[in-house]
Structure 1
Amino acid sequence: MYFTDRRRLIDMYLTYLGYCNRQDLISQIDIGTATASRDFQTYKAAYPKNLLLNQNKKRYEATPEFTAAYEHDIPSVLTFLTTETWPIEHKNPGFGCQHQFSLPHGMNQNYVSAITRAIANHRAVDVSYCSANSGTTHRRIHPHAIMTNGLYWYTRAYDEDKREFRNFRLSRLLETKDALDAPYIGQESDRSWVHLVTITIAPHPNHQNTKAFLSDLGLEGKPLINIRTSEAMTGFLLSSLRVDCSESQKMDHNQFPFVLLNRHELVDISSMVIAPGFMTQ
């Protein structure tokens, strides 16, 4: 993980978690305890209204007046928070297309960081959310996780209005406000998140050379692959892998190179509604 300005790393932790300590810096950068302490003092000197020391918890915390000092790359931060990896800054050697297109992510740092801070501190959030079906609505949610389907980022949260756990696309947040007085409903109550299922997929039978697609999955001498995932992520995974989930397996095999073999075991999983072909019979 590479930061030319270590104050940016401190600011990232305060923005997206609401707290940071010396060990956070030491674990990410090859520095000593004394250097980490100086970094906090340097940050505090530059942005005195952004942090305070919590002696009981032995960490610095964002103040109520906190304002992010940096504009952080949101997808990179979310990748770090969900996978503990960080895209390394480097000079591009020029192997790619000179005219690559990157789809704008549409996420707002203030709204996304409100969600990640809520997860880190076990809090609910009042949000304005633009749904494709319902338009703009106001609701109180209890986020407990962040996930991606490879294109969009989502938070998994309990929706007080619907009285169930749902997935909310982070780019559709229009406003956020901490709900400090609300008892938190967390991950342990989300059965679909903690319950694991097995997905069995294989190359589409309409392909003439299935060996090529087995190679895509790193399979040698195996006709299929079993993947363990949570119920809540099942539809996302099948969608990102472009798996034909129809009962007839008649979808275009060029667009959907794999088929779902144990569809009958997954029919009662709510996230399957977004699996390719599952609803079109």
Structure 2
Amino acid sequence: MPTMAANTASPNQRERLWQIDFLARFRGQVTRQDLAHRFGIALSNATRDFTLYRELAPGNLDYDHRDKVYRRTAQFQPLFTYDREHTLQTLSHGQAVGQEPCEQPILVDVAPALNQPDLDILAAVSRALYATRAIKIRYVSASSGESEREIVPHSLVNTGLRWHVRAFCRTHAQFRDFVLTRIIQADELNSATDPAIESIQQDVEWNRCLAVELAPHPAAAHKRAIELDYGLAPGESLKVNLKAATAGYLLRRWGVDCSLNASLSPDEYQLALINPASVSRQANLSIAPGFLQEIHRP
């Protein structure tokens, strides 16, 4: 948090200044109503917050008198320092808490995230998502190297291992996943999007829901231990609904044996996918453990 803000604002006002900064950076615009709704304050108080923010960061916001909204300028420089993990959680779950972490009297050891996106790239993608706009990106693919693409993002995806953006790729004329850490440049475009082709409603795999059934690995020595892990009664299976677009990621994250005959080691894969051949006809399971494309997709 900047020293000048800390010296001129109360803790409550610093939180509201952070809210202005966050929404301007990651949404591209912010209004007095945003503050009034979030913090339960009068619009006159919100006006004073914006006045102070613009004194502290005079080049960050332009006021649109017609729409009565403050918009991020091209010269925007964040007034606050952002933690990546907190930023991703805030984008995922909303601004339920302020910018300060809560004190935690119970010791909890959390595994660190090794893969986190650049915040400027994330902000550009986030603004495009909010405004339903296209962006031009430079992307480094693991299979084809660096290239330039125009994409229309519609959702962020946390696979548990890394963050993706789901988007319509104009280069390939199809919906694809792009790993955020592999985007090395992102520039907003002024071109209009085509809802009949590029909108989330046209993403068939994203909108297709699969009913997937998982069971303790048939070769496990003590299936009851696995059943207890997932709150299952003896002999019961775990039924979950997944998007076809993300099914492979989730089955990989959960360590589910997706081989045709549950042939992977139960010491490593405690769950097995029931009827993998049927599931693979409805979703791309190419990254799921044990998946064999030549068997499942004849």
Same fold (TM over 0.5): yes
Identify which of 91, 110, 133 aligns with 2:103.
91
Name 2:238's counterpart in structure 1.
Answer: 225
202-211 or 126-135, which deviates more: 202-211
- The answer to whether the aligner puts 1:236 opposite 2:249 as a matched pair is yes
Which blocks of at least 5 consecutive residues in structure 2 are unaligned?
Answer: 1-11
How do 1:68-217 and structure 2 match up within 5 A? Answer: 68-84=78-94, 89-93=101-105, 95-97=107-109, 102-184=112-194, 185-217=198-230
Contact kept? 2:247, 2:285, Cα under 8 Å:
yes
| Identity score, percent | 27
CA spacing shift, 1:113–1:76, aligned 2, 3 Å: same
Measure how far apart 1:68 and its partner are.
2.4
CA spacing shift, 1:4–1:49, aligned 2, 3 Å: closer
CA spacing shift, 1:208–1:33, aligned 2, 3 Å: farther
Contact kept? 1:78, 1:146, Cα under 8 Å:
no
Measure how far apart 1:110 and its partner are.
1.3
| TM-score of the pair, normalised by structure 1 | 0.89
Name 2:271's counterpart in structure 1.
Answer: 258
Name 2:32's counterpart in structure 1.
Answer: 22
Looking at structure 2, the residues matched to 80 and 90 of structure 1 have their Cα atoms a distance apart, in angstroms, of: 14
Contact kept? 2:247, 2:283, Cα under 8 Å:
no
Tell me the alpha carbon deviations over residues 213-267 of structure 1, each in whole angstroms, 9 at most, x when there is no partner.
2222233456112111211111111111111111020111121110110312222
Contact kept? 2:84, 2:116, Cα under 8 Å:
no
* CA-based RMSD: 2.4
Measure how far apart 1:77 and its partner are.
2.2
Measure how far apart 1:106 and its partner are.
4.2
Name 2:4's counterpart in structure 1.
Answer: none
Which entry has the higher C-alpha Rg, 1 or 2? 2
Contact kept? 1:15, 1:68, Cα under 8 Å:
yes
Measure how far apart 1:37 and its partner are.
2.7
Question: Which amino acid in the other structure matches residue 9 of structure 1?
Answer: Q
- The answer to whether the aligner puts 1:42 opposite 2:55 as a matched pair is no
CA spacing shift, 1:212–1:32, aligned 2, 3 Å: farther
Name 2:68's counterpart in structure 1.
Answer: 58
Which blocks of at least 5 consecutive residues in structure 1 are unaligned?
Answer: none
Measure how far apart 1:273 and its partner are.
1.1
Looking at structure 1, the residues matched to 94 and 223 of structure 2 have their Cα atoms a distance apart, in angstroms, of: 34
Question: Which amino acid in the other structure matches residue 93 of structure 1?
Answer: P
Measure how far apart 1:209 and its partner are.
2.3
Tell me the alpha carbon deviations over residues 66-106 of structure 1, each in whole angstroms, 9 at most, x when there is no partner.
23223322332222223336577123436245xx7624434
Contact kept? 1:3, 1:9, Cα under 8 Å:
no
SS at match of 2:139: strand
Measure how far apart 1:137 and its partner are.
1.1
Contact kept? 1:236, 1:271, Cα under 8 Å:
no
Contact kept? 2:125, 2:153, Cα under 8 Å:
yes
CA spacing shift, 1:128–1:159, aligned 2, 3 Å: same
SS at match of 2:153: strand
Looking at structure 1, the residues matched to 253 and 24 of structure 2 have their Cα atoms a distance apart, in angstroms, of: 32
Contact kept? 1:77, 1:86, Cα under 8 Å:
no
Question: Which amino acid in the other structure matches residue 75 of structure 1?
Answer: E
State the aligned residue count: 278
Question: Which amino acid in the other structure matches residue 37 of structure 1?
Answer: T
108-117 or 217-226, which deviates more: 217-226
Measure how far apart 1:210 and its partner are.
1.9
Looking at structure 1, the residues matched to 35 and 235 of structure 2 have their Cα atoms a distance apart, in angstroms, of: 44
SS at match of 2:156: strand
Contact kept? 1:202, 1:260, Cα under 8 Å:
yes
Identify which of 267, 271, 279 aligns with 2:284.
271
